[in-house]
Every structure is written in structure tokens, then in C-alpha cells.
Structure 1
Amino acid sequence: MLYAQYSRYGTDRVEVRFGEQGTEYTVFDYREDGVRRAGVRLASSGGRQREIACHAPITGHLGGLKNRLPCDTDSALNLGTCR
């Protein structure tokens, strides 16, 4: 599991990415200008992609995983800040 986060005024994007049996899963939680969107993106090794969005009130706290998971060096959200 890998962690990525991007923040600026009015925007906070958090992703946790992992792979299993040829599929890459990205759990995401985005807040932009007061609008929150969350869900899971799936990408198969064959190039097929799908997104499953949360439709109920979002109560997750992915940001709490920042110091518990390795930084995702492949994610553009981190802006090259992984050490």
C-alpha cells in the first residue's frame, strides 16, 4: 500500500494505492472548493479502468494513514516530495 497527498488552499486530495492479482486499486478522497468526492478506481493490467464513487455521506479519514504508509513515488499528487 502506498500513500499520496496534495494540498493547497481549498483543495486536499488523498490516495492510497495497492495492487492485487493484476489489478491496481486506488482508494481516493478529494475535497475541492467545499465539494467532497471519494471512491475506488480500478485499473487492470490489460488497460481497463473503472471508478466506483461513494454515494452516501463520506466519513473516511485516509489522511490519518500519511505516517503509516510509504510515500507513492509514482503519484503526481506527491509532487516529487517522497524521500
Structure 2
Amino acid sequence: MIQAIYEEHKGRYCYRRNRDELINRGHHVNHKKVQRLMKVLGLKYLVHMKKYRSYKDSIGKIAPNLLERNFRAERPNEKWVNGHYRV
């Protein structure tokens, strides 16, 4: 049954999704059991890399550098910097 589900989904299902599919089909089995059986059968799921998408040019804009790396303040609470923007 595990082999059939694996082949039906072209090797994309890991042991967790295989277990969920077994439960949907009426077979209640522990996830560790499915993991062990998949290991014995030599079934490894395919890991798909996510495509990198940069939105730097199209959506976002670069904030102006107001401090110009001058972080030294003359008095307390004059300059606050928080990660991406100046407070």
C-alpha cells in the first residue's frame, strides 16, 4: 500500500504525507511504522528546491541612508537604529 501511494504521487510524499494518505484510505498506522517501512523499501521522497525570486527592483525600494554610517550621537536618544529603518 505504501509503495502504491509513493508511485501514485511520483515520489513526492514523505512518510508524514504517506501516513495521512493511509489514514484517508482507512488504514490507521503510526508515522514511525511508515517511516521504517519506507526505509526498508528504499523509498525516498524528492526534495524540490524553491525558485529564488528577488523583488528588489519591481516592488521594493531602497530607503535613503540618512545616517551614512555615522552612529556616534552627541547626546542620549539622538539616534535610534532598528534593523532596516531609522527611528
How would you bin the TM-score normalised by the shorter chain? under 0.3
- Structure ranking higher in strand proportion: 1
What is the TM-score when the length of structure 2 is the normalising length?
0.24
Of structures 1 and 2, the larger Rg is shown by 2
